[in-house]
Every structure is written in structure tokens, then in C-alpha cells.
Amino acid sequence: MAPMSSSPLISLPPAPATPAGLVLPGDGWWPDIDANAAREACRLPDYVTDARLLASLEGAVLTVTADLAEWAAQLLGAGAANLGAVTAAQLVSLMVPDHRPTHRRPISPCAPFHRQRPRYTAAQAMWLCAPAGSASRLSALYLRAVRFAAMAEVSDQYRDMATITPKQPRVEAIEETGADYYRWSVEARRDMLGQTRVAVELI
């Protein structure tokens, strides 16, 4: 009797585009990045090679961790062994300069600035450290920031294919997608830092 897998009536799921176990290792404080999970989550097309995906993920990790380096150093100093071990109490202990206006007499521009405030409210800290699947929301936001930064780079690198490869989206659509990916990555980082998603520049 022939094995069931050889029957034409049996439909087996396709093999993953990126092999399971292909992981970009973290440095011990930042978590590992599963390349196949990133491909599946972002629905990355098969024409993007594993080598290109890994290179984009590596670049994204460099960008995101550099953006969060000072924040991570403060948490390490507060006792957090790694991102997944960050507690709400450690988040609340982080301080930032308080530039909010007060009713006190104006301070001289030459005077040193000492006023500080907690970076997070208790509610923000609890929300970030709450579970999100198998990890905390803080870890999920980091993963989101890295994945979308990588997808933004991939979109930028493959713009030329839109004009020469059949059945590929137009270059304008790819550029718009890349911009969206970049924005989502920045928003995830700002959520991690307890910042608003809207940056306002005074004129």
C-alpha cells in the first residue's frame, strides 16, 4: 500500500519559504529574530531571498537597537537582565527631563536644567509589561519595530523589480508600502519609549 503522502488526493501544506530555525541571534539583552516568522508575518514574497531577508533584518536590528540604546542601558542599570525580563517597576524608575511649563519664575537660559519626571505612568508601565502571547507587549513591540524596519529596507531594495518583473506591483505602490513600514517601525519604538506617536515641530 502506497504511503498516504503519495496520494494525489492528499494536499500537503507548502514548505515555508524560509527554513524553520533560521534565526538572527540577539546579543543576550535583545531577543533573537526568527527569519521565517518575520517572512510569514509580513507576507514577504518568495522572490526575496533568504540572504536578502537576513541582511535586511540585521540592518533593522542595528537601526532599532541604536535608537533604543540609551533606554536599554538605563534598564540594564535598573536591573533588567534582558528585554523580556523588564518589569513595570523598572520602567517607572526611568526618568526624563521635564520641559513642561510651570508657573514658577523663568529660569535663566544659562542655568543647568535639573527638573525630571518619570518616563512612564504606572498604567503605561503595566500595559507594556503585560503578556502578549508568549512574551510581553514590550518584546512584541520590539519585534514589530525590527520586522517593519526590515520590510521598509526590502521594499526600497526591490523598487527596480516593479518595472521589469511581470505581475509585480507598480513602483509607486512599493514606495508607499515602504513608507508605511518605516512609519509603523517608528511608531513601535515610540510606544516602547512611552512617547506619543505625533511629533510636533514649533515654527
| Angle, CA of 166, 167 and 171, to the nearest 5° | 90
User: Residue 185 is part of which domain span?
Assistant: 29-101+113-192
Task: Give the number of domains in the chain.
Answer: 1
Measured distance CA(31)–CA(133) in Å, rounded: 15
Query: Is residue 9 situated within a structural domain?
Result: no
Residue 50 lies in a domain: yes
pLDDT tens digits along 149-165? 999 998 888 765 555 45
pTM of the model as a whole: 0.79
Burial of 23 per CB tally in 10 Å (0-12, 13-18, 19+)? middle
Q: Is residue 169 part of a domain?
A: yes
pLDDT tens column, 80-117: 999 999 999 999 999 998 877 766 655 555 555 568 99
